[in-house]
Amino acid sequence: MDQTVTDFARAVQDILFAGQRMDQRGWVPATAGNISRKLADGRMAITRSGCHKGFLQAADVITVDMQGKPHSPENRPSAETLLHCQIYRHFPHVGAVLHGHSVASTVLSMEEETAVLTLADYEVLKVFEGQTTHETSVQVPLFENDQDIARLAEVVEPFFGTGMPAGYIIRGHGVYVWGKDMPTALARLEGLEFLLACALERRKLHA
């Protein structure tokens, strides 16, 4: 079997599994969110626009180039494909990118007045690369939502050179995380979502 076909088939299975897992946790309501996986030949496999991520079928995964252009003109990728391209461009080792719309990320990002959300002293912080202890803090950047994705990408761009952890949040919208492969990206998403849920609960307790 053609290695290119085999790689794409594996990517499809990775994406379908990620969609189901994210849906089970309520992180991709309705048709929200998008999921991608880089292919060995430099293309990107990504979810088609308008699909419910909990019920993805193989036909809902398409390929685009690293400028976000679909290889088949009839295919319409997610509107946020350019944000995936941006991450892959900055981090050549990254193999998967996940975007979800959880309640915690949506609410916290709308309530937090600063440009970052600081998460400190949690054991689960060790899910982020380079963290080895709970006695630390991670600052997750917050960006204003914008329906013009190219313009939003320009705002995010400078932060990739500032030691940004493997994730950021768009206010009132949701999170972006990435990893060397799909299991790593999923672990980071689950870790970040756990931390966001904890932060939200603590704010309720102190309200």
For the chain, give the percent of residues with pLDDT over 70: 93
Q: Give the pLDDT confidence of 32-63 residue by residue, as tens digits.
A: 999 999 999 999 999 998 999 999 999 999 99
Instruction: Say if residue 21's pLDDT is above 90.
Output: yes
Band of residue 1 on the pLDDT scale cut at 50, 70, 90 = very low
Band of residue 5 on the pLDDT scale cut at 50, 70, 90 = low
Q: What is the pLDDT of residue 16?
A: 98
For the chain, give the percent of residues with pLDDT over 90: 72
Band of residue 2 on the pLDDT scale cut at 50, 70, 90 = low
CATH fold of the domain at 3-205: L-fuculose-1-phosphate Aldolase (3.40.225)
Instruction: Say if residue 76's pLDDT is above 90.
Output: no
Q: What is the mean pLDDT of residues 183-201?
A: 93
- 99 annotated as belonging to a binding site for a ligand: yes
**N- to C-terminal Cα separation, the chain:** 59
Band of residue 203 on the pLDDT scale cut at 50, 70, 90 = confident
Band of residue 126 on the pLDDT scale cut at 50, 70, 90 = confident
Q: What is the pLDDT of residue 129?
A: 67
- 101 annotated as belonging to a binding site for a ligand: yes
Q: What is the mean pLDDT of residues 140-147?
A: 95
Burial zone of 106 (CB within 10 Å; 0-12 exposed, 13-18 middle, 19+ buried): buried
Q: What is the pLDDT of residue 120?
A: 83
Q: How far is CA 164 from CA 90, 91, 147, 161, 180, in A?
A: 12, 12, 23, 7, 16
DSSP string, the chain: --HHHHHHHHHHHHHHHHHHHHHHTTSS-TT--EEEEE-TTS-EEEEBTT--GGG--GGGEEEE-TTS-BSSTT--B-TTHHHHHHHHHH-TT--EEEEE--HHHHHHHHH--SSEEEEES-GGGGGSTT---SS-EEEEEEE---S-HHHHHHHHGGGGGTT--SEEEETTTEEEEEESSHHHHHHHHHHHHHHHHHHHHHHHHT-
Phi, psi of 18, rounded to the nearest 5 degrees: -60, -40
Domain boundaries, the chain: 3-205
Mean pLDDT, the chain, integer: 90
Can you say whether residue 41 is alpha, beta or left, with left for phi > 0 and alpha for psi between -120 and 50 degrees?
alpha
How far, in Å, CA of 15 to CA of 34, rounded?
A: 9
